[in-house]
Structure 1
Amino acid sequence: MQIEIEYCVPCGYLDRAVEAQKTLLSTFGQSLEGVTLKPGEKGVFTFRAGDDVIYSKPDEYDITTIVETVKARL
């Protein structure tokens, strides 16, 4: 499974996107095809697996929920 993290550049979400990327890769390793970062704007902080949005709550960033959601899809 390939995960894409789209994050708002003007909002300063790069650090949390990188943290999430590192957490997912260290937790799931080779079970994932990859975790890519995609710059965005307008408050976006969205995680996608293929065409499916699996997390999109920039104000309530919760890495535990994100990890559990990815785990359920593997």
Structure 2
Amino acid sequence: MVDKRPRLEIEYCTQCRWLPRATWMAQELLTTFEGDLGEVALVPGTGGVFEVRLDGESVWSRKTDAAFTDAAELKRLIRDRIAPDRALGHSERKPEEESDR
């Protein structure tokens, strides 16, 4: 049986010591999408790379998007591709909604 669920890759820079960031992000995404992802792979790289790919397609890259994103934004980006009808709970709140409280 072939697993049709998407493969998520997190490529991180070993020179920058970003393995802890990559493993934390993998944990966050696996916890949120445990039934929707077929695999999560950590891919060692160099040169300041930190990129998240879904089935080979870049979802977020430090190179093109500049600064690091937070877990909530990355969860929204992944959700929009694999489970667009899923609610993400508190991760869905926009900063302006939180300031209205």
TM class, shorter-length:
over 0.9
- In structure 1, the partner of 2:30 is 25
Deviations 1:8-38 (A, max 9, x none): 0010110110000000000110210011100
Structure showing greater relative contact order (alpha-carbon pairs closer than 8 Å, 6 or more residues apart): 1
Q: Which one has a bigger Cα radius of gyration?
A: 2
Structure 1: gaps (5+ residues): none
What residue number does 2:12 align with? 7
Q: Secondary structure at the match of 1:29?
A: coil
Q: How many residues align?
A: 74
The TM-score with structure 1 as length reference comes to: 0.92
Structure 2: stretches of 5+ with no match in the other structure: 1-5, 83-101
Q: Specify the alignment match of 1:68 in structure 2.
A: 76
TM-score (normalizing by structure 2):
0.69
* Secondary structure of the structure 1 residue equivalent to 2:33: helix
What RMSD, in angstroms, separates the aligned Cα atoms of the two structures? 1.2
Identical columns (%): 34
Higher strand share goes to which structure?
A: 1
User: Higher helix share goes to which structure?
Assistant: 1
Aligned equivalent of 1:42, options 37, 41, 47:
47
**Corresponding residue SS for 1:36:** strand
Pairing partner for 1:59 from 67, 80, 84: 67
